[in-house]
């Protein structure tokens, strides 16, 4: 899902810090904000991502570093699109991760899971 009014990047543009790779020296801080529901998060998520379900973002926005590059992701891109709009309206700069965690898994980016099961998105 895309919208010309909302900045969107492909999963390949998300920094390697979320692949459990050490970020480059001097690189700006980055946040991968996963706005999926708790059950989706438990099944599989990007290592190092910050999990705040979409409905909780307004109450927890103070957990976001306003100076960080904020990449917002959900399952396929619809919820993250709305969260990017919301963050822009309150003064944050954020980008939508096109294709969401489905594209993340398809691209072979690493996944982590809560519990003993194999991480998966779909």
Q: What is the pLDDT of residues 43-93, one digit of tens each?
A: 999 999 999 999 999 999 999 999 999 999 999 999 999 999 999 999 999
From 31, 35, 74, 83, active-site residue:
74
Q: What is the pLDDT of residues 6-51, one digit of tens each?
A: 999 999 999 987 775 455 666 678 999 999 999 999 999 999 999 9
119 found inside a domain:
no
* Structure confidence at residue 14 (pLDDT): 95
Q: Is the pTM of this model over 0.85?
A: yes
115 found inside a domain:
no
111 found inside a domain:
no
Q: What is the count of structural domains for the chain?
A: 1
Give yes or no: 27 in active site: no
112 found inside a domain:
no
102 found inside a domain:
yes
Write out the residue range of the structural domain in which residue 101 sits: 8-19+28-106
Beta strands in 1-122 (DSSP E): 8-9, 30-34, 50-51, 69-73, 94-97
């Amino acid at each position: 899902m895309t919208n010309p009014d909302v900045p969107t990047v492909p999963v390949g543009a998300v920094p390697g810090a979320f692949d459990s790779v050490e970020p480059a020296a001097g690189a700006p801080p980055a946040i991968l904000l996963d706005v999926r529901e708790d059950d989706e998060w438990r099944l599989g998520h990007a290592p190092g991502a910050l999990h705040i379900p979409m409905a909780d973002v307004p109450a927890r926005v103070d957990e976001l570093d306003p100076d960080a590059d904020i990449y917002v992701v959900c399952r396929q891109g619809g919820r993250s699109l709305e969260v990017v709009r919301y963050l822009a309206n309150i003064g944050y700069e954020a980008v939508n991760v096109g294709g969401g965690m489905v594209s993340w898994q398809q691209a072979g980016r690493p996944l982590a899971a809560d519990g003993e099961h194999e991480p998966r998105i779909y």
